[in-house]
Amino acid sequence: MSITHNLGFPRIGANRELKFALESYWKKESSLDALKTAGAELRQRHWAHQSKLDWSPVGDFTFYDQVLDMSFTLGNLPGRVRDLSGDSLDNYFRIARGRSAVDGVCGGGIQASEMTKWFDTNYHYIVPELSVSTIFTLNASRLIDELEQSRRLGVKAKVVIIGPLTYLWLGKTKDDSDKLALLSRLLPVYVQLLSKLAACGAEWVQIDEPILVTELDSRWQQAFVLAYNTLHTNHVKLLLSTYFGQLRENLSLACRLPVQGLHVDALNARDEVSNVISKLPDDCVLSLGIINGRNIWKTDLTATLDWLEPIHRQLGHRLWLAPSCSLLHVPVDLESERKLDIELRSWLSFAIQKLHELSILSAALNNGRQFMETELRDNQSAIAARKISARVHNPSVKAALARIDANMECRTSPYSERARKQHEQLKLPLYPTTTIGSFPQTEEIRRARSLFHRGELSESSYNSAMREQIAHSVHKQEALGLDVLVHGEPERNDMVEYFGEQLEGYAFSQFGWVQSYGSRCVKPPIMFGDILRLKPMTVEWIQYAQSLTHKPMKGMLTGPVTILNWSFVRDDQPRTVSCQQLALAIREEVLDLERAGVRVIQIDEAALREGLPLRQAQWHEYLQWAISAFRIAANGVRDNTQIHTHMCYSEFNDIIASIADMDADVITIETSRSNMELLDAFDHFNYPNEIGPGVYDIHSPNIPTQDHIIQLMRNAAKRIPAQRLWVNPDCGLKTRAWAEVVPALRNMVAAAHTLRSTK
């Protein structure tokens, strides 16, 4: 008998109920009790969806973030909130969101904790704050309450927690102290937690240690041995869970730890499974993640069974089956989708459908395939149809891909030659000023868009409303005296969706929301087929904007790597191929913009770094194809067309050489969050082209002063020759108000004037 379980269920709710409950509580429109009730109802509903499983996760629900939950469970609260009164959930929101979270409940002025990406997903967690003086004390009330609730509902509960090593690894020490030194203080609290859970009737605890799929040095590996020998108890069984990748050099370690079960990602690490089986002790459960928890495609059940049956014969009841990772990263229910056509829908599977696939697999293994004949046949025909569908495979796209040659990646002349021609043509002053693309997305813009989508505003009225917005932005920029202008992006809802909607090969769900952080969700577009650009996507808007000014107007595009990294991607071809297809589509757009007389074209690659593999050993390969895709998109232009790119909110220093390889004439880059730490990279690396280090932190309502901007730029000029510096904000201005943007840009332009005259 194989056993089925789930590592985690999306908590946001099929209709984003959690988001709305949270936001209503934060706005003080509803009570804390109402919020807690909403949480309890969601948990109940989600367990009901999992009722066919042998074990359902308990503790995977969270009001904001599972890592922050663990910090609370371990009593690791930042000192600044420890003595504050109010419900502990209010304190929790203070750490998650800063003082605005619960304004008025108690004094303000609380700084939120840092937030960063959860491994290589687009989910963001709240970084645990650690220091030499961190102490841990157990607070198991959340887990105990949820365990109680599950018991009342008759759920077969498997408690989910984050393991001690992954917890420390995710944390950040502000005082540069050694995180691992905290392990001896942390382990006793985990021991207490496990015995408390055991006392409350927990039989299995899933202890997540995804860092086992990353490169660990020997200290961390040894710490695993110490930790799990300490946690070993006869009171609860531990299912050590790894996901998102291969164990590789940590495989023997993972198999040797004294736990009762091991979960591995059998999609990413399929080749390792036989090795794991041979190394795992005879009484240890092996849980195989065989359904993709991070993508939305239907599983090929027959192929999976072909692979699983011999393993099942070998392991019998020791074999557990699950999705590869928590289903947090996929939308809840495909049934809600009304607009996707039947054919496309038949290829997809969201969280609820994935659990159904799991039951079919398990029933077929346990009772024989004949009992699941209809289900397997339906599945097989959907899988087969997708493989040969003309909607997926477009011969003309494949032919264009085959014609890609190395020359397409290269500009005609080297940067120095191009720069000369561009400067002659653009006649820009020293320290040219520009912005990153978007201007405030005002209420007015949003209203027009939603009326248009609801069919209450005609296309022509919508277009003229957007033109008015563009004209408004252009006039503001002229009045401010900026040098290279933008159209302001009023017509774009989102920098990826906007392009996806116009490309063949992309589909959009109505309710396919995935949590990004807290109450924030994204609806990644679904790339299902070969990508074809049917017609110009941005040219008319930019041409119109250019017609309003004599200053250069930037064409504004999203780059292939960013579009790829923010989409659900195809699983039937390598990501590199999908990325090349996107690159060809963007290249066509770039060339059309150039033909339309646009002299400066910006191709944003905000998510370039997000695609980096978890293991550094694989970075090179990724960077090679990602940079090549950008170059295909950008480098078909003539020497005198100036290519810009833009990046933000990630570490750049360790990939600066690859960024230089993109060979964009200009890069604008966010620096404020790290206080211009970016510039350190230029001490050792001679960045060859032009660069605009951001001088206006667009996430803050603060207006940067002229002096501050001058100081930042002078600092930059110590490392990069002034002839190659630009002055610009950190990122797009769409979330700010005009009342902030205008004085900030005024100071920016004034600072540039001062810099020019005092050099």
Active site residues: 699
Count the helices and strands in the chain (H runs, E runs). 28, 21
Nearer to ligand GLN, 305 or 495 (CB): 495
Look at the block and give the residue holding tokens 């102490």: 135
Query: In angstroms, rounded to a whole number, what is the distance separating the alpha carbons of residues 363 and 379?
Result: 15
Closest distance to Zn ion from the beta carbon of 438 (Å): 9
Alpha-helical regions (H) of 566-618? 575-595
Yes or no: say if 482 and 551 are a contact pair by the CB < 8 Å rule: yes
The number of angstroms, rounded, from the C-alpha of 433 to the middle of its chain's C-alpha atoms is 30
Does 445 participate in binding ligand GLN (rule CB under 6 A)?
no
**Contact range with Zn ion by CB under 5 A, out of 62-70, 472-480, 521-529, 724-732:** 724-732
DSSP 356-395: HHHHHHHHHHHH-GGGGHHHHHHHHHHHHHHHH-TTT--H
Interstrand relation of 503-507 and 526-533 (parallel, antiparallel or unpaired)? antiparallel
Cβ-based burial of 656 (10 A; exposed 0-12, middle 13-18, buried ≥19):
middle
DSSP 683-707: HHS---SEEEEB-S-TTSSPPPPHH
Closest distance to Zn ion from the beta carbon of 647 (Å): 7
**Contact range with ligand GLN by CB under 6 A, out of 52-60, 68-76, 430-438, 448-456:** 430-438
Cβ-based burial of 366 (10 A; exposed 0-12, middle 13-18, buried ≥19):
middle
Residue choice 438, 538, 658, 689 for contact with ligand GLN (CB under 6 A) = 438
Query: In angstroms, rounded to a whole number, what is the distance separating the alpha carbons of residues 238 and 261?
Result: 6
Residue choice 325, 731, 745, 749 for contact with Zn ion (CB under 5 A) = 731
Start-to-end C-alpha separation, the chain: 77
Residue choice 467, 646, 724, 736 for contact with ligand GLN (CB under 6 A) = 646
Query: In angstroms, rounded to a whole number, what is the distance separating the alpha carbons of residues 97 and 92?
Result: 9
Residue choice 96, 319, 586, 648 for contact with Zn ion (CB under 5 A) = 648
What string marks each residue from 577 to 606 as x (binds Zn ion by CB under 5 A) or -? Answer: -----------------------------x
Query: In angstroms, rounded to a whole number, what is the distance separating the alpha carbons of residues 659 and 497?
Result: 25
Closest distance to Zn ion from the beta carbon of 634 (Å): 17
Does 485 participate in binding ligand GLN (rule CB under 6 A)?
no
Give residues 195-224 in contact with ligand GLN (rule: CB under 6 A): none
Does 39 participate in binding ligand GLN (rule CB under 6 A)?
no
Residue choice 182, 731, 744, 748 for contact with ligand GLN (CB under 6 A) = 731
Question: What is the DSSP code (8-state) at residue 605?
Answer: -
**Contact range with ligand GLN by CB under 6 A, out of 66-74, 152-160, 267-275, 431-439:** 431-439
Does 59 participate in binding ligand GLN (rule CB under 6 A)?
no
Yes or no: say if 725 and 689 are a contact pair by the CB < 8 Å rule: no
Nearer to Zn ion, 344 or 495 (CB): 495
Nearer to ligand GLN, 193 or 486 (CB): 486
Does 437 participate in binding ligand GLN (rule CB under 6 A)?
yes
Q: How many other C-beta atoms can be found within 10 angstroms of the C-beta atom of residue 199?
A: 12
Look at the block and give the residue holding tokens 């609730």: 149
Does 561 participate in binding ligand GLN (rule CB under 6 A)?
no
Give residues 587-606 in contact with ligand GLN (rule: CB under 6 A): 604, 606
Residue nearest to ligand GLN (CB): 732
Nearer to Zn ion, 448 or 731 (CB): 731
- Partner whose footprint covers residue 437, from Zn ion, ligand GLN, none (CB < 5 to 8 Å by kind): ligand GLN
Question: What is the four-CA torsion angle of 756, 757, 758, 759, rounded to 10 degrees?
Answer: 40
Nearer to Zn ion, 606 or 716 (CB): 606
Residue choice 155, 436, 480, 710 for contact with ligand GLN (CB under 6 A) = 436
State the amino acid at position 554 in one-letter form.
K
Nearer to Zn ion, 210 or 692 (CB): 692
Applying CB under 5 A, the residues found at the interface with Zn ion are 606, 648, 731
Applying CB under 6 A, the residues found at the interface with ligand GLN are 436-438, 489, 495, 556, 604, 606, 646, 648, 731-732, 734
